[in-house]
């Protein structure tokens, strides 16, 4: 019987029709719950009754269907339905070439705009929330959701999209959908035919540009079924729905041998779905806590028990769920829960479905992970490569709460969540909580945690001064503090001069400094004295410093032959005084001298610093008289390594400044430098390599506000002083910058900001190729949030918030970027975002990543929580971020769950298939980056270097390209590792009946061999891509060694030339400007050569380790591994 006779007149005949069946109306459609199918008359009757059930759900679409009253046919039609439910005549267009697809007749789909092009969806302005409140904690919940049914979008390779209603039959034997052009008995896929289920952009239909603009990758789902692995490409409305189908289908695939087709769901017994280890564990807990009252547990004990089992759960959330439970029909009295109610409540408040979906991805679709599966998860996602099976077993015993799980070495959802919430899985690399950097470099090679007007607690006009301010910053690891000294009635006092700020005694400040100076860090503390005292009180200052600080005070004079500052290790537990110093050493008999008084005028500073520049006349400026003030020589003698220097001295001497001279600039002046001239900026960056330089907030910031410290760090300024009593973005960045290296207050600057003759402009916006710096791509997925508090500054009484997350990257100008997630209305308890973003960093050593949670519908303050971290300190994988308040304090239970991957390369235009030649040329050109020096004898050697580096770049490019193709053939994401690809091959071989696969170690290559059967095309494709990748790795290993030897010979030759560089320059008779350029280019080439040698060693090691990982993964996944002789 044809489909025209089976379907009612109320249904439209188009194949692109967008009919949706809500879960509430499914029971009214008889054929859905009828596993054996229905007769034509029954089916027609059911379809005729469907229109009344759909009135509220899709009213507009049904009214249009009724008006047209077209004949029933699911073949070609003259009408299509748009996204809003309206119909219009189908438009026939001429064949066009579009988006790289084959020529085809473009037809408007129900999901396309009227122009036939999809509307681009901007994530940053999406304000949708989760479409459902259903909770998923195990496979049974997933299957229940699938049986209710879901509206999914079907994609075809030609770019067309259709909305269908898919559901799983009650007997778990088949998947069905409607509407369809097929007969009812053919509109199905047997579960036994499903070979594989993939999530993400894996198939050709998913990679269509139109689809990319319309849908998130997390919503995409591909079902491969039949012996030919026929793809069914589907898109869910949310990542949550896609994960439900992914977890449910994977569970059915794993259990399909236990399923009996044709058996009604009510008759089927699946004990593993009905009762599992978790339920038995919770039952044991309930019995233990119930005590003498058998069968029930009081509400207070229920709450105490749940908080004991899952401390991350919010008490108010438990009370809210209890109120909902009490409002239902139940037999027990209010305030008493039976065992089933307790288990249900615990699962409701403590289960997180994103954790369950993660577990099923690696747990072979079960509700638990064994040691091998946990090891695969740790290696693939968490980047932990040194985990053995015994270590994973110990980890399961440590975190799995149930005794049965511990005994069977199985990790359930509660154990996995406990592990992911532990300090072990913190986003900050725990190794960096200790001092890990080289502390033997000169002081000028470090960023120093610094404070401005340290004594102030509030603003700079009338705020209070306190010694508590010194205690606070010293405990936080601050290594540079300021003391403004003024004449007091009998002894020096500290306050902001000529203002209404309160006054404290200088002696009390020094006592506090002596007590807390080295509490959080052993490295030198710089005390900046702004001296405004008379000679008598200066003597008191000297006496107090010597008496209270004692041996901590550094007083050893500078050796006359010193050309660099001492290192932090050399100055451990020493306090350095920074102040003006008497320059005239001829009058050594006089007890005092005179020093210039600092002028804080920005205009005056600007005139001083622009008197000497690379593009202005070097005429000697007229001498401007400066204010002089007396200084006690005994106080001057305490100034050793930190002598305050005026900008006039920098303008006169530039890079020839003495290393112990410290210049100071306001933030306004530095910004003007950045905007005015790259030459001036480069000169300042070069000077910062050997001299200390300080930046402070301009005097106009009387409210103690701050400036963004990131641009100052980019220029190499070491002492970037902030008003640390003021909370906000700027202090958040400062705290994050000094969180690494054991929070000791000193962070080593990147090599390019330390090495001489290195040219670096942090304000450049174009493509950067910095020698010795490996760019990085950060792929970030914000999954969910938990227990977001109400904003402190909010003036509303309601506790409901509408949170969203702002993610910002701070670094050099080329790296700065920001994204925001969608807003989740009315859910601060467990908002679900599941959105992905990509950051490209050319200079990751300087980059900071900041997460800020904000309230979209705020009245007053929108800030909820924040967390900032250096990119180099990030642990990749699935991580919980413990969010902080505006004051930097940890918020109890307030977390953000994210997934982070970091890969090399910062090209915003990723490689595309079909452009392999252009990609190859671009990669080779970027990898070489060699500059000619302008001296023939040196450039001849440089050209030989270029040829070898070109060959090396091609070898690396071939390996990377082959790996990308291998991952594509395995239909896994770009961040998946080799072990996950091998697991895919093993699973496909296992699904192909009668097929035997072995791994043979031959000629240094682990090779897969198929016997006893013919592999399906999808497996053949993966094995061919694997073999191509192996050959490219072997080629790099074989050819890389002679290239390495040649590069080492060239490096030795260039080092010899470097020692005689001055003579080469003199023989070439180069001008001063060309000589400087030659030196810079030669140093650049040396760094490039060193970087490429390191890169070659890394690639060779990676190829060798990848072969070992293939063998390990094959053994774990049941593939027989043998030697070539055994085979």
Known catalytic residues are 452, 496
Residue whose structure tokens are 């001489």:
756
Measured CA to CA, the distance from residue 1023 to residue 809 in angstroms comes to: 40
Residue pair 685/758 in contact by the 8 Å Cβ criterion: no
What are the helix (H) ranges across 861-935?
916-928
CA 731 to chain centroid, in Å, comes to 21
Measured CA to CA, the distance from residue 969 to residue 957 in angstroms comes to: 18
Measured CA to CA, the distance from residue 689 to residue 684 in angstroms comes to: 9
Provide the CB-side half-sphere exposure for 869 (13 A, CA). 22
CA 380 to chain centroid, in Å, comes to 16
848 φ/ψ angles, rounded to the nearest 5 degrees? -125, 140
Helices 353-362 and 239-255 pack at an angle, to 10 degrees, of 40
Measured CA to CA, the distance from residue 1052 to residue 755 in angstroms comes to: 20
Measured CA to CA, the distance from residue 255 to residue 259 in angstroms comes to: 7
Measured CA to CA, the distance from residue 106 to residue 114 in angstroms comes to: 12
Measured CA to CA, the distance from residue 549 to residue 573 in angstroms comes to: 11
Per DSSP (E only), the strands in 1-128 are 79-81, 87-89
Residue whose structure tokens are 């070069």:
686
343 vs 368, 620, 674, CA distance in Å?
Answer: 18, 85, 63
Provide the CB-side half-sphere exposure for 293 (13 A, CA). 13
Task: Spell out the SS3 assignment of 1057-1100.
Answer: HHHCHHHHHHHHCCCHHHHHHHHHHHHHHHHHHHHHHHHHHHHH
Instruction: Tell me 465's DSSP state.
Output: B
Residue pair 346/302 in contact by the 8 Å Cβ criterion: no
* Beta-strand relationship, 1005-1011 and 639-645: unpaired
What are the helix (H) ranges across 256-338?
271-274, 277-290, 299-309, 315-326
Encoded tokens for 144: 């229940």
Q: What is the largest CA-CA distance in the chain?
A: 119
* Beta-strand relationship, 525-531 and 480-486: parallel
Instruction: Tell me 655's DSSP state.
Output: G
Q: Is 26 helix (H, G, I), strand (E, B) or coil?
A: helix
Measured CA to CA, the distance from residue 221 to residue 703 in angstroms comes to: 54
Measured CA to CA, the distance from residue 196 to residue 775 in angstroms comes to: 36
User: Terminus-to-terminus CA distance in the chain, angstroms?
Assistant: 56
* Beta-strand relationship, 639-645 and 575-579: parallel
Provide the CB-side half-sphere exposure for 404 (13 A, CA). 12
Residue pair 123/819 in contact by the 8 Å Cβ criterion: yes
Encoded tokens for 383: 């980047």
Q: Is 149 left (phi over 0), alpha (psi -120 to 50) or beta?
A: left
Q: What is the DSSP string of 987-1051?
A: HHHHHSTT-EEEEEEETTEEEEEEESS---HHHHHHHHHHHHHHHHHHHHHHHHHHHHHHHHHHH
């Amino acid at each position: 019987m044809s489909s025209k006779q089976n379907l009612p007149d109320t249904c439209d005949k188009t194949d692109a029709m967008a009919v949706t069946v809500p879960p509430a109306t499914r029971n009214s459609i008889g054929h859905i719950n009828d596993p054996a199918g229905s007769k034509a008359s029954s089916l027609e009757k059911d379809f005729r009754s469907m229109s009344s059930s759909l009135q509220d759900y899709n009213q507009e679409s049904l009214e249009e269907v009724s008006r047209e009253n077209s004949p029933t046919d699911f073949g070609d039609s003259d009408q299509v339905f748009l996204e809003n439910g309206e119909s219009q005549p189908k438009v026939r267009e001429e064949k066009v070439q579009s988006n790289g697809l084959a020529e085809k007749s473009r037809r408007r789909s129900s999901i396309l705009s009227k122009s036939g092009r999809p509307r681009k969806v901007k994530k940053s302005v999406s304000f949708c929330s989760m479409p459902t409140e259903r909770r998923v904690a195990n496979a049974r919940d997933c299957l229940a959701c699938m049986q209710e049914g879901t509206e999914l979008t079907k994609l075809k390779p030609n770019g067309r999209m259709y909305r269908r209603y898919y559901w799983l039959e009650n007997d778990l034997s088949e998947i069905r959908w409607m509407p369809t052009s097929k007969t009812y008995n053919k509109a199905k896929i047997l579960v036994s035919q499903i070979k594989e289920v993939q999530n993400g952009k894996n198939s050709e239909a998913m990679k269509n540009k139109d689809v990319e603009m319309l849908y998130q990758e997390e919503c995409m789902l591909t079902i491969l079924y039949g012996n030919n692995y026929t793809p069914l490409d589907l898109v869910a409305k949310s990542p949550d729905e896609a994960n439900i189908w992914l977890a449910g289908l994977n569970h059915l695939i794993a259990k399909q041998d236990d399923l009996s087709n044709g058996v009604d769901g009510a008759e089927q017994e699946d004990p593993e779905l009905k009762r599992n280890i978790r339920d038995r564990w919770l039952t044991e807990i309930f019995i233990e806590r119930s005590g003498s009252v058998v069968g029930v547990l009081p509400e207070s004990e229920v709450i105490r028990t749940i908080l004991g089992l899952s401390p991350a759960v919010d008490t108010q959330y438990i009370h809210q769920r209890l109120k909902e439970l009490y409002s239902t029909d139940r037999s027990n009295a209010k305030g008493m829960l039976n065992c089933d109610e307790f288990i249900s409540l615990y699962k409701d408040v403590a289960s997180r479905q994103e954790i369950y979906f993660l577990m099923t991805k690696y747990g072979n679709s079960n509700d638990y992970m064994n040691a091998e599966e946990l090891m695969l998860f740790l290696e693939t996602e968490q980047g932990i490569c040194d985990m053995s099976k015994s270590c994973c077993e110990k980890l399961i015993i440590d975190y799995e709460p149930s005794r049965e799980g511990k005994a069977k070495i199985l990790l359930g959802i509660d154990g996995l969540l406990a592990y992911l919430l532990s300090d072990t899985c913190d986003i900050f690399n725990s190794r960096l909580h200790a001092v890990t950097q080289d502390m033997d470099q000169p002081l000028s090679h470090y960023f120093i945690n610094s404070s401005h007007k340290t004594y102030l607690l509030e603003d700079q006009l009338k705020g209070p001064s306190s010694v508590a301010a010194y205690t606070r910053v010293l405990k936080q690891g601050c290594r540079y503090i300021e003391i403004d000294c003024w004449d007091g009635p009998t002894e020096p006092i500290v306050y902001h001069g000529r203002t209404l700020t309160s006054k404290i005694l200088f002696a009390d400040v020094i006592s506090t400094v002596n007590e807390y100076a080295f509490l959080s860090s052993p490295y030198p503390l710089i005390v900046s004295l702004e001296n405004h005292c008379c000679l008598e009180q200066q003597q008191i200052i000297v006496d107090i410093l010597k008496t209270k600080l004692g041996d901590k005070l550094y007083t050893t004079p500078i050796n006359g032959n010193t050309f660099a500052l001492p290192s932090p290790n050399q100055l451990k537990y020493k306090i350095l005084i920074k102040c003006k110093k008497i320059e005239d050493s001829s009058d050594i008999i006089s007890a005092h001298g005179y020093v210039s008084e600092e002028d804080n005028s920005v205009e005056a500073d600007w005139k001083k610093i622009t008197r000497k520049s690379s593009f202005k006349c070097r005429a000697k400026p007229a001498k401007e008289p400066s204010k002089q003030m007396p200084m006690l020589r005994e106080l001057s003698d305490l100034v050793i390594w930190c002598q305050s220097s005026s900008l006039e001295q920098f303008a006169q001497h530039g890079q020839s400044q003495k290393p112990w001279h410290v210049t100071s600039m306001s933030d306004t002046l530095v910004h003007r430098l950045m905007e005015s001239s790259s030459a001036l900026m480069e000169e300042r960056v070069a000077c910062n390599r050997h001299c200390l330089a300080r930046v402070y907030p301009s005097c106009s910031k009387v409210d103690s506000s701050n400036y963004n410290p990131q641009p100052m760090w980019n220029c190499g300024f070491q002492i970037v002083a902030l008003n640390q009593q003021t909370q906000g973005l700027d202090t958040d960045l400062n705290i994050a910058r000094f969180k690494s290296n054991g929070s000791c207050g000193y962070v080593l600057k990147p090599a390019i900001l330390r090495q001489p003759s290195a040219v670096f402009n942090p304000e450049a916006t174009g493509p950067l190729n910095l020698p010795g710096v490996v760019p990085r791509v950060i792929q970030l997925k914000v999954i969910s949030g938990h227990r977001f508090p109400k904003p402190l500054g909010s003036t509303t009484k309601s506790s409901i918030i509408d949170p969203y997350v702002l993610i910002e990257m701070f670094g050099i100008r080329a790296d700065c970027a920001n994204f925001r997630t969608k807003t989740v209305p009315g859910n601060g308890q467990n908002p679900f975002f599941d959105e992905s973003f990509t950051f490209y960093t050319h200079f990751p050593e300087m980059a900071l990543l900041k997460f800020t949670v904000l309230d979209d519908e705020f009245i007053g303050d929108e800030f909820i929580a924040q967390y900032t971290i250096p990119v180099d300190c990030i642990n990749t994988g699935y991580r919980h971020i413990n969010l902080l308040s505006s004051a930097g304090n940890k918020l109890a239970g307030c977390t953000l769950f994210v997934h982070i991957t970091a890969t090399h390369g910062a090209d915003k235009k990723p490689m595309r298939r079909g452009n392999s030649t252009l990609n190859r040329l671009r990669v080779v050109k970027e990898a070489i980056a060699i500059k000619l020096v302008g001296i023939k004898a040196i450039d001849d050697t440089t050209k030989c270097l270029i040829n070898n580096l070109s060959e090396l770049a091609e070898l690396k490019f071939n390996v990377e390209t082959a790996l990308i193709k291998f991952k594509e053939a395995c239909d896994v994401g770009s961040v998946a590792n080799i072990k996950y690809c091998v697991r895919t091959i093993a699973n496909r071989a296992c699904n192909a009946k009668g097929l035997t696969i072995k791994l043979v170690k031959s000629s240094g290559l682990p090779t897969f061999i198929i016997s006893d059967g013919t592999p399906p095309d999808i497996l053949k494709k993966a094995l061919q891509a694997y073999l191509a990748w192996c050959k490219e790795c072997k080629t790099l290993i074989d050819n890389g060694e002679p290239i390495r030897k040649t590069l080492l010979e060239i490096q030795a030759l260039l080092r010899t030339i470097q020692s005689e560089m001055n003579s080469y320059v003199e023989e070439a008779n180069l001008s001063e400007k060309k000589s400087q350029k030659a030196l810079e280019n030669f140093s650049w080439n040396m760094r490039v050569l060193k970087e490429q040698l390191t890169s070659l060693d890394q690639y060779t090691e990676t190829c060798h380790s990848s072969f070992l990982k293939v063998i390990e993964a094959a053994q774990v996944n049941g593939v027989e591994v043998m030697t070539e002789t055994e085979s």
